[in-house]
Chains A and B, each alone.
Chain A
Amino acid sequence: MSSTTATRVPAAPRVETPFQRFVSEFAASRIALLGLILFLAIVAIAVLAPWIAPQNPYDLAQLDIMDGRMEPGTVGGAGFTYWLGTDDQGRDMLSGIMYGLRISLIVGAGSAIIACLVGASLGMLAAYAGGRTDSLIMRLVDLQLSFPAILAALMILAFLGKGILNVVFALVIVEWAYYARTVRGSALVERRREYIEAAQCLALPTRRIIFRHLLPNCLPPLIVVGTMQVARAIALEATLSFLGLGVPITEPSLGLLISNGYEYMLSGKYWISFYPGIALLVTIVSINLVGDQLRDVLNPRLKR
């Protein structure tokens, strides 16, 4: 095939930018692509919820208590069909899930970004400063990682109480150590490379070496850890909210929706818990699929 193109088009060898190569390598896995499409669809639903949801679940005027606990597919008093049923307040579950996704994604992504900033800074500091600073930070990381995340988050929320900001804070506390360990590990390797030595010989300021030379080369593993941690944060937030320690009732995330359906489960009204759970599951699995493929694509040891 290449010979036929060569006869027709003599010049212009195809130059692939690193980004294009990254995209084509990522797209090589069908299942990862499916994960990415699913995830983008979920983000789109969450962002567009106020415009596409059949009902605003926060607007009490739109709710009809007579429509409470209706089975999926029932036509309600307001004239539209409750495809996924209603909860005890007469809230449309489909709309509830769309709005709940917003909260779950904001908490998950928000905590991951803050934890990434905190963890990456501390990890970089540990790698660059070395000595006592390094061992102090890494001791903290070890301590943090030796306690299960659920317990540490539980402890923090037990003292701080419910609230979106409190949940984000608790998630940052349990997650930063993963980022710190990742960045320190790759920064220690990169620091010994020649380009850093060259930059140091040019007498560039330390700030410039760290941000322009060292950090960009530590990014790939950070991105992989970050993706996985978003999924973990969403799952942990849902668990905490289910236990009644996470988000307040006024801002129901998927976990809280599932929790609301718990008491109706025993009387066979499965849909109040079932569908938010499916939404949660699809979100977590799609992020994990993307993260898995990113790990393969961004791993330098697997580079051809």
Chain B
Amino acid sequence: MTAFLLRRLIQAAAVVLVMSLLVFLGVFAVGDPIEILISPEADQFERERAVKALGLDLPLWQQYLVFLGNALRGDLGRSFVFNEPALKLILERMPATLELAIGATVAALIIGLPLGLYAGLKPNSPVSKGIMATSILGFSLPTFWVGLMLIMVFAVQLGWLPSTGRGETVTILGMRWSFLTSDGIAHLIMPALNLALFKISLVIRLTRAGVRETMLMDYVKFARAKGLSPARVTFVHVFKNILIPVVTVVGLEFGGTIAFSVVTESVFAWPGMGKLIIDSINVLDRPVMVAYLMMIVLLFITINLVVDITYSLLDPRVRLEGKQ
């Protein structure tokens, strides 16, 4: 187990290193940051001083080492636009994104589980067929367009919900949260539902497949033969067992949800990390771009690592794979 863990950690570190090189080269390839940083009126002397101060006169590999060294100390540069450390900007906006992603996950479970359960228990009823057809639509609909349509119907036409922003927030542990105020919740509903759209379809399909499989199991037949009420069989014997795979997949999808919140945040002007990166790309605020990309790479590698380790704990075959 230790050897497996060590190998995976080294692999993860190697991936981080490769990604940092790619991000660095990508930024370098875009062009000369000096053009953006100093005013056009600056004379030759000022220009050279700025180049030296930023270390841009060093050879490329030395610049990379400096970048890497700074990154290890948590310094990913200062934003050109906000003139604040890029990492701080991102961490400030992280709670908003997390709140949105968690809201979307909860919404997907609350909506998807009952619908999937119904479709699995009564596979031939017209309602179930309707649910399944809608879930296909959930996979095909472009998320950003659905977001626009939600705004149009519920904010513009009906006026029930606010269209953009986060609303009133409460500060807990130095972070601002929306879900504790009624105004904040009103702002959260539409973005969370929009981000949940794809996941709702996923949960419906997983739950339905799980229910149909579990209903044929011997222990379910036995529970029915014992004379237990259908409700008890459904909720205690079937539901509990399908919950494990569904929750696992939804958990695995969490990283993807955070990535995809880029789109939802842009539609609903939700002030999270995703909105920040899109705005930064549009004004070429490179330090923020680099910091965001490195954060996301780290996040994904951590998620993948945790998944791998969990799987190896649960399934010895994974652990032994490399030993042949």
Contact = CB atoms under 8 A, between A and B. Distances in A.
B266 A266 contact: no
Interface string B249-288: 0000001100110110011000000000110011000000
B118 interface: no
Nearest to B23: A155
Nearest to B263: A239
Nearest to B18: A143
Interface string A224-246: 00000001000100110011110
Contacts of A268: 156-157
Contacts of B255: 148
Contacts of A258: 144-145, 148
A134 to B, nearest CB: 15
Nearest to A286: B140
Given A159-B29, A244-B282, A151 B296 contact: yes
A268 B159 CA distance: 11
Interface residues of A, number: 36
A255 B293 CA distance: 24
Interface stretch (A5-13, A37-45, A208-216, A276-284): A276-284
Contacts of A273: 145, 148, 152
Contact of B281 (A147, A231, A245, A270): A245
Nearest to B293: A155
B304 A235 contact: no
B163 to A, nearest CB: 6
B136 interface: yes
A143 B15 contact: yes
Interface in B118-166: 136-137, 139-145, 148-149, 151-152, 155-157, 163
A285 B142 CA distance: 10
A34 interface: no
Nearest to B153: A270
A265 interface: yes
Given A159-B30, A266-B151, A284-B140, A150 B260 contact: yes
B289 interface: yes
A285 B137 contact: yes
A147 to B, nearest CB: 6
Contacts of A270: 152, 156
A300 B149 CA distance: 41
B281 A266 contact: no
B149 A277 contact: yes
Contacts of B4: none
Nearest to A31: B133
Given A239-B144, A244-B278, A285-B140, A274 B263 contact: no
B15 A262 contact: no
State the majority secondary structure of interface residues on B. helix
Interface centre among A158, A255, A258, A270, by most chain B C-beta atoms within 10 angstroms, is: A158
What does DSSP make chain A's interface, helix, strand, loop or mixed? helix
B26 interface: yes
A242 B145 CA distance: 9
B152 A150 contact: no
Contacts of B263: 150, 239, 242-243
Nearest to A287: B140
Interface string B153-193: 00111000001000000000000000000000000000000
B64 interface: no
Nearest to B266: A243
Interface in B54-108: none
A147 B148 contact: no
B148 A281 contact: no
Nearest to A154: B262
Contacts of A148: 255-256, 259-260
A16 to B, nearest CB: 31
B278 A277 contact: no
A266 B26 contact: no
Contacts of B278: 243-245
Given A148-B256, A151-B259, A280 B151 contact: no
A146 B143 contact: no
Contacts of B149: 274, 277
Contact of A280 (B27, B137, B142, B266): B142
A248 B240 CA distance: 51
B197 to A, nearest CB: 13
Contacts of A242: 144-145, 263, 266
Contacts of B296: 151
26 contacts: A147-B300, A148-B255, A148-B259, A148-B260, A150-B259, A150-B260, A151-B262, A154-B277, A154-B281, A158-B26, A159-B27, A242-B144, A255-B144, A258-B144, A258-B148, A266-B156, A267-B156, A270-B156, A273-B148, A274-B152, A280-B145, A281-B140, A281-B142, A284-B140, A288-B139, A288-B140
Interface of A: 143, 146-148, 150-151, 154-155, 157-159, 231, 235, 238-239, 242-245, 255, 258, 261-262, 265-268, 270, 273-274, 277, 280-281, 284-285, 288
The 3 closest A-B pairs by CB, nearest first: A159-B26, A277-B145, A148-B259
Given A243-B262, A268-B157, A280-B145, 4 more contacts: A238-B144, A239-B144, A266-B155, A267-B156
